Structure 1
Amino acid sequence: MIVDCALYTGGVRRHRLDDLFVAVREAEKDDGFVWVGLHEPTADEFDALAAGFALPELAIEDAVRAHQRPKLERYGDVTFVVIKPVHYVDHVEVVEVGEIAVFLGERFVIVVRHGDSTVPHRTRTSLEGDPAMLVHGPAAVLHRMLDLTVDDYLDVTVAVDTDIDEIEDQVFGDEPGRDHAERIYKLKREVMLFRRAVVPLVGPLTRLVNDDIPWVQPVMRPYFRDVEDHALRAAELIEGQDAMLTSVMQADIAQVSVAQNRVSVRQNEDMRRISSWAAIGLVPTAVAGVYGMNVDHLPGAHTGYGFGVVMGAIGLMCAGLWRAFRKNGWL
């Protein structure tokens, strides 16, 4: 359950803590803070930690069950933040969305990770190499975690843009009329999931910049404002990608419809040609059928000129039908 738990003072990691009940007392004594990292704890596993740090019950439920939207909530001296880190799996065009719940107090940071996100590990590694930032305590941890998450958002938008460009080339490329709707719909669905992770985070970032959060020192607010700007940019890019995919899907549907109409027109033309030749061929077939009957009284059947007259009449009728069909564009 516990990935790491350590005491930090003066921007430096001091030692790992095994007894969580004395962790906050050590932090107060040394003017530092405790940083606890957990991975997908159960409710029973979280109980001892919640009691030791007096965490709010409603926030505990959200942290354990996960599937929350990005948000920031205050419970007295404890602030609860939910972040949705993302990772783009390019070869299958899937946006993997994780979840991080963060409890922040004056002397502690508790990070609960759901999924395979590397953001908590990168945050700890980055800040342990940056004592000047880490000295600001829990606010520095939250800022770096948000900063890395939003940077990942921007990286994912670049990867999604590349796939959208590829789809555009396919839709408007050398094979017009080929149906790409399945791929477009799948990518549009992933962009929607991506959007749900990014857009709701803008509100909490704005609160971190403007609201009076007790543990956020004034010196940290410009850093949160920078993250807010990047998040707004990511949100705008996602809105543009969603609109672009909608347009590409409409264009793909239109091209498929045009291609199907062209096939239908060609089929109709072929049917007219076949029907025309069938009608022309029906004339000699019908005459031959009549004169092939075993009866005596047929016009010209017993005269020397009868055969020539019949063949001439057949030729004239066929030529007349050919000319009529040709004039109407059927042949």
Structure 2
Amino acid sequence: MIVDVATYRDGTRQEVADLHTALRRCADLADPADDTQALPSSQEFLWLGLKDPSAEEFTDIASALHLHRLAVEDAVVGHQRPKIEYYDDTVFVVLKVLEYFDETSSVETGEIMVFVGRHFVVTVRRGEIGALSDVRAAVEGDTAELRRGPKGVLHAVMDKVVSGYTVIDAALEQDVEEVEEQVFSPTRSSDAQQIYSLKREVLEVRRAAFPLVAPMKRLVDGDGNGGGPGEGQDPHAAHHPLDEQAVFVLRDVLDNLVRTVEHVESYDRLLTDILNAHLAQVSVRQNEDMRKISAWAAIAAASTLIAGIYGMNFEHMPELTWRLGYPGCLLLMAGVCLGLYRFFKRSGWL
């Protein structure tokens, strides 16, 4: 369940001996009536990483950190649409993480949920895709990022996910170019299945990236609730965990996201055009094959007609007693076939 947990104070990682104690510490820091805390809110926070938690396992954590039940339910059940929602002073982010496999040219999808409070970050990963160990290591190696607190972690996680989209964008671009060259090459091949499979991969990326654009735009523009109003949500919370600096750095992530979505949509349209072109080529090639078959059938029918006439059992046929009748008949058949062949060749049927 727990992948990693640590407390970060003044840019330094501190191991957690007892999770319940660390959770109580977060609750104490979040208490506005408690003025005994010496450290600013951005300099001490808890980062708890979970993987596929059950409802029972998540209960104590949700209760201690005052996580909203709807957000907790989404994190436990999974299979959510990418979104950003506000619940009082907590931001709940759902991200689809993608991974591209060169061997099969396929895209696999995972899911990451992030709870961001004033003094805590809870990352929930569902599935085997999207491990955040490298993100945690990068953040821990950057003291300035750690000093930004939970909002720095949120930026690092979102940047990691969107950077993955950018990598897949480049891979899909190469695949689309390859299938385009293959379709328009003179070599005959059956490309419809490959094109359709590639369209499915493009759709998978679009489903992950496109729904995130609108809430991220609202987030960086400061236009109210990033995920739409709901029970317990307050878009004007007094202690919003994302400050102006956090919103500023997220603009770069948004730019990369929008660029990826634009590219993916262009790939989808291009693949549709490529598929239509492939089907048109198949139809044209079938027509060409039918013309060739018809031309050869006509050539064979002409010689068959002559052979059939002279194969009839009649006694009074002048050619039967002619010494040159047999070679003359063969020459006639050859001449007719050659003439038809040259005619069909000039007309483009052969």
Same fold (TM over 0.5): yes
1:23 corresponds in structure 2 to 23
Q: 2:305 aligns with which of 255, 274, 279?
A: 279
Q: Is the 8 A contact 2:125 2:131 kept in 1?
A: no
- Where does 1:188-207 land on structure 2 (aligned, <5 Å)? 188-207=199-218
Matched, 1:80 2:80: no
Name the larger-Rg structure: 1
Q: Is the 8 A contact 1:38 1:111 kept in 2?
A: yes
Q: Which has the higher contact order (CA 8 A, sep 6+)?
A: 2
- How many angstroms apart in 1 are the aligned matches of 2:77 and 2:220? 28
Q: Deviations over 1:15-38 (max 9, x none)?
A: 224233542425724541111000
- Where does 1:135-214 land on structure 2 (aligned, <5 Å)? 135-175=147-187, 177-211=188-222, 214=240
Q: 2:138 aligns with which of 126, 134, 138?
A: 126
Q: Deviations over 1:80-127 (max 9, x none)?
A: 110111111111011111100111111111100012234522221111
**Counterpart residue identity of residue 197, structure 1:** A
Cα RMSD of the aligned pairs, angstroms, is 2.8
How many residues were matched structurally? 317
**Counterpart residue identity of residue 290, structure 1:** F
Matched, 1:243 2:239: no
- How many angstroms apart in 1 are the aligned matches of 2:321 and 2:294? 38
- How many angstroms apart in 2 are the aligned matches of 1:126 and 1:138? 14
1:308 corresponds in structure 2 to 322
Q: State TM-score, norm by structure 2.
A: 0.82
Give the match's secondary structure for 1:215: coil
Q: Deviations over 1:201-241 (max 9, x none)?
A: 11222122122671111122210111111111111111111
- How many angstroms apart in 2 are the aligned matches of 1:107 and 1:137? 8
Q: 1:262 aligns with which of 266, 281, 288?
A: 288
**Counterpart residue identity of residue 268, structure 2:** D
- How many angstroms apart in 1 are the aligned matches of 2:148 and 2:336? 94
**Counterpart residue identity of residue 197, structure 2:** K
Give the match's secondary structure for 2:8: strand
% identical equivalent positions: 36
- How many angstroms apart in 1 are the aligned matches of 2:320 and 2:52? 101
**Counterpart residue identity of residue 76, structure 1:** D
- How many angstroms apart in 2 are the aligned matches of 1:124 and 1:188? 34
Q: Is the 8 A contact 1:88 1:95 kept in 2?
A: yes
- Taking a change above 3 Å as real, the CA distance of residues 160 and 323 of structure 1, as seen in their structure-2 partners, is closer
- Structure 1: gaps (5+ residues): 292-297
Q: Is the 8 A contact 2:22 2:46 kept in 1?
A: no
- Structure 2: gaps (5+ residues): 30-36, 225-234, 346-350
Superposition misfits of 4+ residues, deviation over 3 angstroms: 311-316, 318-331
Q: State TM-score, norm by structure 1.
A: 0.87
Q: Is the 8 A contact 2:300 2:337 kept in 1?
A: no
2:117 corresponds in structure 1 to 105
**Counterpart residue identity of residue 308, structure 1:** W
